[in-house]
Amino acid sequence: MLTLTPTEGDDVRGALRTAERSTGLRFAAYLGPAIGPRRHFSERLHAALGTDADRAVLVFVDQRGRAVEIVTGPLARRWLPDAECRVAATSMAAVLGLGDLVGGLVTGVLLLADRASRRR
């Protein structure tokens, strides 16, 4: 996992809290390299959310590997189908491509929250 500055950590936590308040879903983020295949690793992280996993959205960012994975639980998927997650991942990738890790993550989380709240 990558180390963020206190301000960056506050920005990420603020985006996650905002997303949770506006959607009623659980949002989590992981920044860092995958251990093994990315999708499998991100699915394991999502499952580790325990009882929240059904209504959770996990955003995984591996900046070195230039990869973004978004994993949704079955309840969260009702409001965030794969097509919506692809839109968010594409937006995140554009910001991440500029070297702005925190900005890319915050952009993605808030876009996911916006998309989910519109469908609820």
What angle is formed at CA 105 by the lines to CA 53 and CA 26, rounded to 5 degrees? 20
Range of the domain at 58: 6-119
Kindly tell me if the per-residue pLDDT of 110 is higher than 90.
Answer: yes
Q: What is the pLDDT of residue 120?
A: 66
Please state the domain count of the chain: 1
The 26-31 sheet, strands edge to edge: 26-31, 56-62, 67-72
Q: What is the pLDDT of residue 50?
A: 97
Determine, yes or no, domain membership for 91.
yes
All residues at 6 or more sequence positions from 71 whose CB lies less than 8 Å from its CB, including other chains = 42, 43, 45, 46, 57, 58, 60
Determine, yes or no, domain membership for 27.
yes
* Prediction pTM value: 0.93
Determine, yes or no, domain membership for 1.
no
Q: What is the pLDDT of residue 1?
A: 56
Strand intervals (E) in 5-66? 26-31, 56-62
Q: What is the pLDDT of residues 16-60, one digit of tens each?
A: 999 999 999 999 999 999 999 999 999 999 999 999 999 999 999
Mean pLDDT of the residues in the chain: 93
Determine, yes or no, domain membership for 61.
yes
Give the span between the Cα atoms of 75 and 80, in whole angstroms: 9
The CATH number for 55's domain is: 3.10.310.50
Determine, yes or no, domain membership for 99.
yes
